[in-house]
């Protein structure tokens, strides 16, 4: 409503300023109309055309796509569908064409399409892609395994994105997610190995992340160093430290420091019996349940609690926050450390959730992907969760399609999610707004 009011008052102001009312040209900005946005329909059209050309025309008309769904519910058997590839793809393309047409219509009448509409379109596109990829193959696509693996692989990305969101909302850009993940993985593994207990390791992982967060806060908040510089350099520092300790101490005494311990996989009694969803969501490592709790807690607390309001005030308008008595720099330091701890907890994924010993640079750039997920998700826990799941899905697609053994160059398959992300950032998300005063020092 406010936007309409503002534009109406703008229009009035413009009319008062311009006495020649009879000019035939009507500037839409001043006519109280929302600007038309063509980006989404154009992207939809490109994807639909690509889908129609590549999927429907290259698929062998007589081939069959086998899709297997394991329900995981006692009493309900597993499903194996043999879909005729061409018909399935045609139906999906028709749906995409219809959705694209609706997007054009919405653009013409100056309505914005919702994010969920874009997500839905993306899901259908991905489904069509999968049907096309497995068409004519002997082995079936294991949908349940694909989804549950995707959720598992997105755990570090989700924790990292949450850490990024907390830090950015308080006004500190956290590029050191990578270092925090790696530190968490390292300390979690070492402490778990020393105490012979994965749970104690899980307690140690956030400590490592928080230490990196402390350094970030020290340099960014106390010494006003550019946040991105500190973040990148801290990543190098943690990489160097963990590599060095791995090559010297861990390798020399691997029987003390490098015994792998894994957190148990827990099947939650009733919930896991829900067909498909139960197996995907509620038959996972303990770290996944902690992740659910963290995401829900942050989404609520960040926008509906005193802590969240104060935190966001420090990121949006620190001087105003200071004026009403919030200690800006103290809030920033504490929340940066909290963010670091969350990312450190996510680092436990690499060692304690997978049950592997620590290896050099095992976070492998996931911290940067988490950063991208956080921005793609519009700086909000909910959006970041969706984006991180997309990347986790992309990660797992490699495994799933590798099993099926498709004929198309696998590199192009693996590239697809990253291309889609670029399209999404360029088309649907566009310029998402960051917290206004992120990355600036408060020198009050």
Residue 318-357 contact track with other proteins, rule CB under 8 A, x = bound? ----------------------------------------
Interstrand relation of 79-84 and 265-267 (parallel, antiparallel or unpaired): unpaired
Does 265 engage in binding with other proteins (CB under 8 A)?
no
Q: Is the dihedral of CA 218, 220, 225, 227 positive or negative?
A: positive
Does 74 engage in binding with other proteins (CB under 8 A)?
no
CB of 381 to other proteins, least distance (A): 18
Does 225 engage in binding with other proteins (CB under 8 A)?
yes
DSSP state, residue 55: I
Residue 148-167 contact track with other proteins, rule CB under 8 A, x = bound? --------------------
The residue ranges of DSSP E strands in 316-429, in sequence order, are: none
* Residue 86 neighbours by CB under 8 Å, 6+ apart: 56, 59, 60, 61, 63
15/360 with CB nearer other proteins: 360
Q: What are phi and psi of 67, to 5 degrees?
A: -125, 125
Q: Is the dihedral of CA 64, 65, 71, 72 positive or negative?
A: positive
The residue within the footprint of other proteins, chosen from 79, 81, 226, 442 (CB under 8 A), is: 226
On whether the CB atoms of residues 369 and 391 are closer than 8 A, the answer is yes
Does 46 engage in binding with other proteins (CB under 8 A)?
no
Which parts of 113-154 fold into alpha helices (H)? 115-133, 143-153
CB of 195 to other proteins, least distance (A): 21
Residue 22-41 contact track with other proteins, rule CB under 8 A, x = bound? -----------------x--
The residue within the footprint of other proteins, chosen from 7, 195, 239, 399 (CB under 8 A), is: 239
CB of 367 to other proteins, least distance (A): 10
Which 3 state secondary structure label does DSSP give 170?
coil
237/309 with CB nearer other proteins: 237
CA separation, residue 59 to residues 85, 352, 373, 411 (Å) = 7, 43, 33, 19
**Residue found by looking up tokens 């949908």 in the block:** 143
Does 436 engage in binding with other proteins (CB under 8 A)?
no
Which residues are registered as beta bridge partners of 67?
Answer: 81, 141
278/383 with CB nearer other proteins: 383
Which residues are registered as beta bridge partners of 82?
Answer: 66
Of the ranges 47-55, 141-149, 239-247, 323-331, which one interacts with other proteins (CB under 8 A)?
A: 239-247
Which stretch of DSSP H or E encloses residue 367?
Answer: helix 366-376
The residue within the footprint of other proteins, chosen from 252, 256, 297, 300 (CB under 8 A), is: 252
CB of 325 to other proteins, least distance (A): 22
Q: What is d(CA 213, CA 302) in angstroms, rounded to the nearest whole number?
A: 19
Nearest to 338 by CA among 157, 172, 151, 152: 172
309/414 with CB nearer other proteins: 414
Does 223 engage in binding with other proteins (CB under 8 A)?
yes
The residue within the footprint of other proteins, chosen from 110, 430, 436, 444 (CB under 8 A), is: 430
Of the ranges 3-11, 148-156, 222-230, 291-299, which one interacts with other proteins (CB under 8 A)?
A: 222-230
CA separation, residue 228 to residues 140, 158, 168, 173, 217 (Å) = 45, 21, 12, 7, 12
Sheet order of strands, 79-84 included: 79-84, 64-69, 141-142
The residue within the footprint of other proteins, chosen from 33, 56, 334, 425 (CB under 8 A), is: 425
**Residue found by looking up tokens 């670091």 in the block:** 340
Does 241 engage in binding with other proteins (CB under 8 A)?
yes
Residues that bind other proteins (CB under 8 A): 39, 219, 223, 225-226, 228-230, 232-234, 236-237, 239-241, 243-245, 247-249, 252, 368-369, 371-372, 375-376, 409, 411-412, 414-415, 418-419, 421-422, 425-427, 429-432
């Amino acid at each position: 409503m406010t936007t309409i009011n503002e534009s109406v008052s703008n229009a009035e102001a413009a009319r008062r300023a311009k006495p020649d009312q009879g000019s035939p040209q009507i500037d839409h900005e001043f006519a109280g109309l929302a600007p038309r946005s063509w980006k989404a329909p154009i992207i939809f059209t490109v994807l639909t055309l690509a889908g129609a050309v590549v999927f429907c025309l290259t698929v062998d008309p007589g081939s069959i796509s086998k899709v297997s769904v394991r329900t995981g519910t006692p009493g309900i058997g597993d499903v194996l569908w043999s879909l005729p590839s061409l018909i399935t793809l045609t139906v999906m393309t028709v749906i995409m064409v219809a959705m694209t047409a609706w997007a054009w219509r919405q653009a013409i009448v100056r309505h914005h399409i919702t994010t969920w509409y874009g997500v839905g379109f993306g899901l259908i596109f991905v489904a069509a892609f999968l049907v096309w990829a497995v068409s004519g193959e002997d082995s079936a696509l294991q949908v349940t395994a694909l989804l549950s693996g995707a959720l598992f692989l997105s755990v570090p990305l989700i924790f990292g994105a949450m850490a990024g969101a907390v830090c950015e909302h308080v006004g500190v850009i956290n590029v050191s997610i990578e270092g925090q993940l790696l530190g968490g993985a390292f300390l979690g593994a070492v402490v778990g190995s020393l105490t012979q207990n994965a749970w104690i390791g899980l307690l140690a992982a956030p400590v490592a992340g928080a230490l990196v967060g402390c350094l970030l806060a020290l340099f960014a908040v106390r010494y006003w160093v550019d946040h991105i510089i500190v973040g990148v350099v801290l990543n190098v520092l943690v990489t160097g430290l963990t590599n060095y300790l791995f090559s010297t101490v861990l390798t020399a005494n691997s029987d003390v420091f490098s015994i792998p311990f894994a957190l148990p996989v827990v099947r939650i009694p009733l919930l896991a019996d829900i067909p498909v969803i139960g197996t995907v969501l509620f038959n996972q490592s303990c770290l996944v349940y902690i992740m659910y709790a963290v995401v829900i807690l942050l989404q609520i607390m960040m926008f509906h609690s005193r802590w969240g309001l104060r935190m966001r005030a420090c990121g949006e308008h620190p001087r105003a926050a200071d004026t009403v008595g919030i200690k800006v720099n103290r809030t920033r330091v504490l929340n940066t450390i909290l963010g670091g701890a969350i990312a450190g907890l996510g680092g436990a994924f690499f060692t304690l959730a997978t049950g592997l010993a620590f290896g050099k640079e095992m976070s492998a750039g996931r911290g940067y992907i988490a950063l991208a997920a956080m921005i793609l998700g519009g700086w909000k826990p909910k959006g970041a969760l969706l984006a991180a799941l997309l990347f986790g899905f992309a990660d797992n697609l490699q495994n799933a399609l590798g099993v099926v053994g498709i004929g198309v160059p696998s590199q192009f398959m693996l590239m697809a999610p990253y291309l889609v992300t670029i399209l999404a950032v360029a088309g649907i998300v566009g310029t998402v707004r960051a917290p206004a005063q992120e990355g600036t020092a408060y020198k009050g």
